[in-house]
Amino acid sequence: MMKFKTALVVGGTGMLAKATLYLADHASQLILVSRDSHATAKRLGLSGANGVSADWTTAPAFLAATKPVIDRFPPDLIVLWMHQSGRDTRQGLLDMVRNSNCRIVDIHGSGGGNVQDRVAQRRLEVVQAGCRYTAVVLGSVPEHDGSLRWLTHDEISRGVIQAIETQNDCVVGSI
């Protein structure tokens, strides 16, 4: 059973809630970053989580709020689900954990441009920062009638948990 000293989760309160709960059971310390961490922790039943109330879309405020917690509890695992617009926030987080050999599990939607290029770019940034990288790419599921449907919350969380456990890149659904 995989065990982490400190897991930091950004973007893990909606579709990734089950993956966040998994990490709460597999990390000595869980740092949950969300817009309203107190309400989120309560909703998820996470009394032991170190909540940080911050919005990744405002990089300076996000980084100022997370830095004291990261300094106190250096993460050995970071799970990130941020859109492409979160580049400054991602870079700031990487700077905080530079050369720590921390593992970054980065979740990508398959839309919005070439996902392989996006994964390659982020992998390069993470490796150059002295950390390890695992990508999770979210696709869609073909239905019997030939249509495609978006992934369920359970399917997304299962894919992220699989990537955490195997330490391998993972595609959930089809891209």
| Domains, in order of start, for the chain | 4-172 (3.40.50.720)
- The stretches of 29-134 forming alpha helices (DSSP H) are 37-44, 59-72, 87-96, 115-128
- Whether the pLDDT of residue 112 is over 80: the answer is no
Write down the pLDDT at residue 163: 97
Q: How far apart are CA 163 and CA 78, in angstroms?
A: 12
pLDDT per residue as tens digits for the range 126-154: 999 999 999 999 999 999 999 999 999 99
Q: What is the pTM of this model?
A: 0.94
Write down the pLDDT at residue 52: 93
